[in-house]
Amino acid sequence: MPHIFSDVDVDRIGRGLLERSLPKTEWTHAAHFAAALWLLRQPDTDALRDMPVLIRAYNEATGVANTERSGYHETITQASLRAARAWLDGRPRHASLSGSLNALLATEYGRSDWLLRYWSRSVLFSVEARRSWVDPDLEPLPF
């Protein structure tokens, strides 16, 4: 049974990323979306600009090197942020972040391999896609 996130969980994950205090074992696929939704709702924050910086810093703080083969991945991060933003845009403005996150995770986006519908494995996991945005090679993103 999937974990059901509360608003407290989403806030803790977002702040934990920001403060680099989230336990590494909790930095999961779902936590990435929780942090994305949290950042997208923060005033005076540009999630597309800020999330990459936060993830790189978090990785370094938890002993994960940001290299051509590990750590931060630009295409995955930006695609996930676009998905999260499109998801939030389609929900009522008063919807809770936890409700939005739980609903999002119940869709195809809840699967860690959701991006392979749009990118071939070789393109998505290339050094180029890790370093910078690479357009999908299988089908365009729906948002």
Give tens-digit pLDDT for 4-20.
999 999 999 999 999 99
Which residues are CB-neighbours of 25 under 8 A, at least 6 positions away?
A: none
Q: Across all residues in the chain, what is the average pLDDT?
A: 97
Residue 126 tokens read as 């290339």
Amino acid at the residue 116:
L
53-89: pLDDT as tens digits: 999 999 999 999 999 999 999 999 999 999 999 999 9
Alpha helices in the chain, H assignment, sequence order: 7-19, 29-40, 47-61, 74-89, 97-105, 121-124, 127-131
Task: Report how far residue 38's alpha carbon sits from residue 29's, in angstroms, rounded to the nearest whole number.
Answer: 14
